[in-house]
Amino acid sequence: MAPIYQFTLQTAQGEDKSLADYRGKVLLLVNTATRCSLTPQYEDLQKLYAKYREQGLEILDFPCNQFREQAPENGTEYAQVCQMKFGTEFTIFNKIDVNGANTHPLYIYLKQQQPEDTGNHIFKDLLLKLASLGEAREGPDIKWNFTKFLVNREGEVVARFAPSVAPFEIETDIQKLL
């Protein structure tokens, strides 16, 4: 069994959910926030999910309040906001930490497997650094909301995309794995 399937997390509704339930699927894991300038990415994440879920794509949403406290809602409220504003149908988990002393073990693992963002955009990344106002992280740390990890059907973490990479910019990568 691939190591990613060893993790169990709590959904926004408070239920334990094993990532082993997604065995054989292509996964896109995203740390998110509802009050971020990148939050409109939810619309395209939902479109990708609707387009490819029948072929085996699952999007796993991990709210994180570590970046300028842009995800203040509790799990249930968070899921309601996303469903009402963006029509999200994919699984939203409870908030987790993706950096620091309380980093969730899943994100420790993801960062070990893919320590660097790919698909950087110089101008967009400069704007992201300005938006973070000194909170920008170095090394394998998650830089900001909407960092994306792509996992193949065997449970291997095959890519990590910078927050500035829009969901449809990785559509080809997803198609190859499906």
Domains in the chain and their CATH numbers?
3-177 (3.40.30.10)
Our CA angle for 178, 142, 89, nearest 5°, is 45
Under the banding of pLDDT at 50, 70 and 90, the label for residue 135 is low
Under the banding of pLDDT at 50, 70 and 90, the label for residue 82 is confident
Higher-confidence residue: 69 or 114? Answer: 114
Q: What is the pLDDT of residue 69?
A: 79
Tokens of 23: 């065995």
Question: Annotated catalytic sites, by residue?
Answer: 36
Residues 101-124: tens digit of each pLDDT: 999 999 999 999 999 887 655 445
What are φ and ψ of residue 6, in 5° steps?
-80, -15
Tokens of 55: 């072929």
Provide the whole-model pTM: 0.89
